Amino acid sequence: MVNGLRPDHNPLRRQVDRLEAVVVLALVTVFLIATPLIALGVGRWSWDGGAATARTERAAWHQVSAVVLRGVPRPQDDPYGAVYLAQVPVRWIVDGTSHTGQVTTTAGIRAGATLSIWTKASGELTDAPLARSQIEHQAFFAGMLAVLGFSSLLGVTALVIRRILQRRRMAAWDAEWRATGPLWSNYR
């Protein structure tokens, strides 16, 4: 690529070859400069959105205690230390109204035990608000997807430009062959 940029006097190196080398260098430069900025910008945008969602959820949702209605026995001893989850029925009270529902918890919980659950203002069961680690993961993957998309865009741009320049190169070679070919061959 560097040889293609040098202003040498090689008669086989055409303007289109030098132009292609400049385009490749420009695309690589754009990639190296823009990629970190895109990753940080999209990651920050995703972080801000996730943090706003978490604040809204924390303001609107409430953590309450729920009583397990029917316990789930602990499974047989597992030599690998696996954690088993089970759906258990629970009851909770919000604003004096009793509610029941199913929550997922570790197996081995007994009836009468209390669990902390999250509910909406109406008392409807919901998941916990977004945690910091979830927001971090969302921001990281949003930044990575943006970089992947931008890289794909640059790659497609490079392929299209190369195709256009290759057509120009082939047309120039064809014109030169029409001019010099009859001098070298029997086809006149």
Residue 8: partners with Cβ closer than 8 Å, 6 or more residues away: none
pLDDT score for 1: 52
pTM above the 0.75 mark? no
Question: pLDDT digit of tens for each residue in the chain (188 aa)?
Answer: 555 556 667 777 788 888 888 898 999 999 999 999 999 999 999 999 999 999 999 999 999 999 999 988 877 766 676 778 888 999 999 988 899 999 988 888 899 999 999 999 888 999 999 999 999 999 999 999 999 999 999 999 999 999 999 999 899 889 888 888 778 777 65
DSSP strands (E only) in 10-154: 62-68, 85-94, 97-106, 114-119, 125-126
* Segment 93-148, tens digit of pLDDT: 998 889 999 998 888 889 999 999 999 988 899 999 999 999 999 999 999 999 99
The distance of Cα 45 from the centroid of its chain, to the nearest Å, equals: 13
Of 56, 89, 57, 60, whose CA–CA distance to 72 is shortest?
89
